[in-house]
């Protein structure tokens, strides 16, 4: 909630969740309120910096994993081509099975 002004005086409140409900809790006015507001602002800035560091690290890891993903998709394509050429088909997006003699379906177009 932050600072609330009544007349000429400022009072600091903080919002908290207790049992799933938002509750405004009186912290103080004057130096006590200033100290509490400063501490809350520092914690918020620290959390924001940590979140940004996590975003940067995840972006770095994603960039590092990209060549591996390209390699994996190429290897998958080659293995599928080899299996099809060897007479196999993939059953219901699952296991690869040897095609039975004489049975040709629309899957065999390549």
Instruction: Let me know how many helices (H) and strands (E) the chain has, helices first.
Output: 1, 5
Nearest to 1 by CA among 25, 30, 36, 21: 25
The predicted pLDDT at position 105 comes to 54
Domain boundaries, the chain: 2-98
Q: Which residue has the tokens 């997006």?
A: 93
pLDDT at 21 over 90: yes
- For residue 108, pLDDT over 70 is answered with no
Residue 33 burial class via C-beta count within 10 angstroms: exposed 0-12, middle 13-18, buried 19 and up: buried
Distance, in Å, from the CA atom of 71 to the CA atom of 81, rounded to the nearest integer, reads 15
């Amino acid at each position: 909630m932050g600072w609330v002004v009544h007349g000429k005086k400022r009072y600091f409140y903080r919002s908290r969740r207790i049992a799933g409900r938002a509750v405004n809790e009186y912290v103080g006015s004057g130096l006590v309120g200033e100290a509490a507001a400063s501490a809350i602002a520092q914690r918020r800035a620290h959390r924001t910096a940590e979140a940004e560091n996590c975003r940067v690290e995840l972006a770095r890891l994603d960039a590092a994993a990209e060549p591996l993903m390209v390699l994996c998709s190429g290897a998958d394509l080659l293995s599928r081509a080899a299996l099809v050429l060897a007479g196999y088909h993939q059953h219901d997006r699952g296991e690869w099975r040897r095609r039975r003699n004489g049975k040709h379906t629309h899957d065999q177009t390549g």
